[in-house]
Amino acid sequence: MLASLFVDAFRFIPDNAGLLLNKTAELAELAFTALGIAILIALPLGLWLGHRHRGLFVALAVSSAGRALPSIAIIGFFVAILGVGFWNNAVALVVLGIPPILTNTFFAVEGVDPDAVEAARGMGLTEEQILTRVELPLGLPLILAGLRIAAVFVIATATIAGIAGGGGLLIASALLLPGKRTRKRALVENSRRATYVQREYARRNPKEWEGYNEVCWGLTACEGPGPKILRIKGKERKFFDYVARGAPYGPDDGTVAPWAVVASLPFAPEIVLPTLEHFKKTEVGRHRYGLEATFNTTFPAEDCPTCGWLSPWHYGINQGPIVLMIENHRNGFLWELMRKCPYIVDGLRRAGFKGGWLS
């Protein structure tokens, strides 16, 4: 099913090499400008707070806010303040990039062995020397993990900057959407295929994560049990904190987000409903809000006898798609609302979509 889409993509690339290079340069300029500013703000602040052993509340609050804020909403907020263009997107990406850098840097320095710090202080090192020669080298792996997470988050979000005049690859990728220059497939079909890819990936389970099968899947941007590297059953396993997980190319650390499965309900109910029935039979489906936010059966934890690590948090932003997509599956309310919106209809037609309900 996906083969024809890849063929269309490979045909598109040589015919539009100049466009792709130009849009890639725009994306790189936006992403690295925002990432550089985020590093200049968050890294020194995290080092200072961690060294002083102050600001735990600030670090946790920033981390939680960074996970809860939807990227497209932040971009929209700064459009209202700064208008459409490069800098409104850059400021939004800076806001998204700061939390993982600040949080990881704080905990990296704050968590350095106190005995090592006291030994350095006893040798006569100044506070600045202790920070640069002891705490920074020991905390470097966790700091780099924060930088990596921020880079992934910023670059991934920068791809949608085109909606607010930020340029980038969104415009180029839109040319490959069904109905533009390829076959006139419905938008729903791509979502349906992506759902089947996720289920098939979990069924094959190439990385041999515990629990993955045809009724236990659901990868998306979500919280995880990391950052941590553990050796489990003789194999080194790398676990992430908040990261944009995906299939089949990853990243994937065995973390499942049940709400992401519900979000696919209108597209492929024949495989989503059995998965939800499976979740209902486990601790994952017995939360007072309905479903646990995320869980990881591979990660060694005592949170749940059958599903391993459970996220201690619950986010309202996850609950929205659950309610909306269940209602959409039941009576098509969202589809009908979208079809009656003249702005959506006009925008799709201007983008080159036709046929189906647009006729």
Mean pLDDT of 219-246: 91
| CA dist., res. 122 & res. 107, Å (int) | 23
Residues 6+ apart with CB under 8 A from 46: 59, 101, 102, 103, 104, 105, 106, 108, 109, 143
pLDDT surpasses 50 at 155: yes
Whether the per-residue pLDDT at 353 is higher than 90: the answer is no
68, pLDDT greater than 50: yes
Domain match, 168 and 42 both: yes
- Contact by Cβ (8 Å): 161, 126: no
203 and 273 together in one domain: yes
pLDDT digits (tens, 9 = 90+) for 40-50: 999 998 898 88
Q: Identify which of 45-49, 185-189, 217-221 has the greatest average pLDDT.
A: 217-221
Same domain for 104 and 240, yes or no, is no
- Asked whether residue 137 falls in the same domain as residue 253, the answer is no
70 pLDDT exceeds 80?
no
Pick the residue with more confidence: 102 or 57?
102
Same domain, yes or no: 163 and 33:
yes
pTM of the predicted protein model: 0.52
329 and 206 within one domain: yes
Residue carrying structure tokens 């309905």 = 290
Convert the pLDDT of each residue in 243-297 to its tens digit.
889 888 878 999 999 999 999 999 999 999 999 999 999 888 888 888 999 999 9
Token pair 């020194």 is found at 44
Name residue, tokens 């939360």. Answer: 287
What are the CA-CA distances from residue 329 to residues 147, 186, 281, 318, 323 (Å)? 40, 17, 22, 17, 10
Are 145 and 74 part of one and the same domain? yes
pLDDT at 184: 38
Same domain, yes or no: 152 and 293 = no
pLDDT higher than 50, residue 212: yes
Widest CA span in the chain:
79
What pLDDT digit, counting tens, does each position of 301-329 carry? Answer: 877 777 889 998 888 888 888 988 999 89
Structural domain of residue 326, as residue ranges?
Answer: 187-334
Q: Between these two residues, 325 and 6, which has the higher pLDDT value?
A: 325
